[in-house]
Amino acid sequence: MKTIDLSSTPVRELNQALHVQAGAVTEREWLVTHPDGKHNLAVGLNEAVSVDIQGHSGYYCAGMNQKATITIHGNAGVGVAENMMSGLVHVKGSASQSAGATAHGGLLIIDGDAGARCGISLKGADIVVGGSVGHMSCFMGQAGRLVVCGDAGDALGDSLYETRIYVKGSVKSLGSDCIEKAMRAEHLEELTELLNRAGFDEDPASFKRYGSARQLYSFKVDNAAAY
């Protein structure tokens, strides 16, 4: 295991060392100590390496991830796993706002709470949150799944396209064009698989499903004058 101590090594050196792995992976396991809320840790990885960050990370940790498994043993700042393509990002604590924003693929697990706009403009990734999510989560979500084991804040799924949302707790309010939908067998199966993958022992039957009413985004040329 390769250990990089950020109290004595700059973040740029950490990311450079991780990027060198793109050609030929020589170190599969990385340990990052003393992150102390520094920004942009382990961004742009595109090989199946594993990175353990021992503490709280700052903005945009694990952004643009492909294939790598990144575990944050603490809280994550704004935009964790933003634009992830594949791989796994696991936040053992809570995450700030815009967690998993625009992520195309892979799995983001947040053991604690996620702040506002979790999964904003989600494009295909899966996000499983052990706690609650803040307001406007999944705003303009286009694909992928968001699972919330706690509660959701205001305007959940506002202007939603095709992201599927599962919430166990209460939803403060639904956003524009977001509605509650029936839990069919296929959804229970999908949710069970997501909870299992995230390692959460929750009863899938206690969740409700939310999705797009599809009234907002089908632009009709006849209505053009109204815009």
Partner 1 sequence: MCGIVGLYLKNPELESQLGALFEPMLLAMTDRGPDSAGFAIYGDEVVDGWIKLTLQSTTADYDWSSLMGALEGRLGCSLDWFSNADAVVLKLNADEHQARAALTELAPEVRVMSIGQSIEILKGMGLPAAIAERFSLSAMKGSHIIGHTRMATESAVTMEGSHPFSTGNDLCLVHNGSLSNHSRLRQELKRRGLQFETENDTEVAAAYLTWRLREGDSLKQALDHALNDLDGFFTFAIGTREGFAVIRDPIACKPAVLAETEDYVAMASEYQALAGLPGIDQARVWEPEPATMYIWERKSA
Applying CB under 8 A, which of residues 21, 69, 71, 97 lies at the interface with partner 1?
97
Is residue 75 a contact residue for partner 1 (CB under 8 A)?
yes
> Could you give the count of Cα atoms lying within 13 Å of 83 in the half-sphere of its Cβ?
8
Measured from the CB of residue 84, what is the shortest distance to partner 1 in angstroms? 21
Applying CB under 8 A, which of residues 37, 44, 150, 169 lies at the interface with partner 1?
37
What token pair was written down for 68? 């790598």
Which residues share a beta bridge with 90?
A: 71, 109
Q: Which is nearer to partner 1, 33 or 86 (CB)?
A: 33
Is residue 38 a contact residue for partner 1 (CB under 8 A)?
yes
Question: Residues 33, 108, 77, 15: is their CA dihedral positive or negative?
Answer: positive
Amino acid 79 reads: G
Applying CB under 8 A, which of residues 51, 58, 157, 207 lies at the interface with partner 1?
58
Applying CB under 8 A, which of residues 21, 71, 94, 102 lies at the interface with partner 1?
94
Is residue 204 a contact residue for partner 1 (CB under 8 A)?
no
Residues 126-155, one symbol each (x = binds partner 1 by CB under 8 A, - = not), give: --------xx--------------------
Q: Which is nearer to partner 1, 46 or 54 (CB)?
A: 54
Applying CB under 8 A, which of residues 17, 44, 67, 93 lies at the interface with partner 1?
93
Select from 22-30, 45-53, 91-99, 122-130 the region that touches partner 1 (CB under 8 A): 91-99
3-state secondary structure 58-98: CCCCCCCCCCCEEEECCCECCCCCCCCCCCEEEECCCECCC
Determine the Cα–Cα distance for residues 109 and 90; give it in Å rounded to an integer. 5
Determine the Cα–Cα distance for residues 221 and 227; give it in Å rounded to an integer. 10
Select from 52-60, 168-176, 182-190, 215-223 the region that touches partner 1 (CB under 8 A): 52-60
Determine the Cα–Cα distance for residues 113 and 115; give it in Å rounded to an integer. 7
- In 3D space, the residue among 114, 218, 118 whose CA is nearest the CA of residue 161 turns out to be 218
Where does this chain bind partner 1 (CB under 8 A)?
36-38, 55-56, 58-59, 75, 77-78, 93-94, 96-97, 115-116, 134-135
